[in-house]
Amino acid sequence: MYDAGKIILGIAIFLVLITFPFWFTLALGNPDYQPDPELPAGQVQCVESKEYMIHWHMDLLNQWRDSVVRDGNRMYVSREYGDRHEMSLTRTCMRCHESRERFCDRCHDYTAVDPYCWDCHVEPKGE
């Protein structure tokens, strides 16, 4: 193998480049950082459990959108609590989570997600 040195050098460079984000975060970043969204005061429960909403809120909102727009169904019955809620981002969700900046954006910015909710919905003014 006449090119063994070049191959080993290429593999080493590849490994450095592919693992760079991990080393950079450990050296300069804050690997223990967790977003801290502002939760609504005085509210004891959401339309579903906290764990469900953390992981599946976008699926729920997509289901709401499809149900309202395609089927004309505007009421949602919570699977966990049995409560009835209007399927509305602005009139249901944003009634408790008043500030997009202090609630939605904190997690979405952390995960580098750019939801398209506000392409159609009017952004709440918040404080």
Number of independent structural domains in the chain:
1
Residue 7 pLDDT greater than 90, yes or no: yes
pLDDT at position 14, please?
Answer: 96
pLDDT tier at 21 (50, 70, 90 boundaries)?
confident
The answer to whether residue 65 is domain-embedded is yes
Per-residue model confidence (pLDDT) at position 36: 87
Q: Which pair of tokens denotes residue 119?
A: 């392409």
**Residue whose pair of structure tokens reads 């966990």 in the numeric block:** 80
Residue 29 counted as domain residue = no
Q: With respect to residue 100, please indicate whether it lies within any of the assigned structural domains.
A: yes
CA atoms within 13 A on the CB side of 42: 3
Who contacts 104 (Cβ-Cβ below 8 Å, separation ≥6)?
A: 37, 97, 115, 117
Confidence of residue 68 (pLDDT cuts 50, 70, 90): very high
CA distance 53 to 48: 6
Domain range enclosing 103: 50-119
Name residue, tokens 């949602």: 76
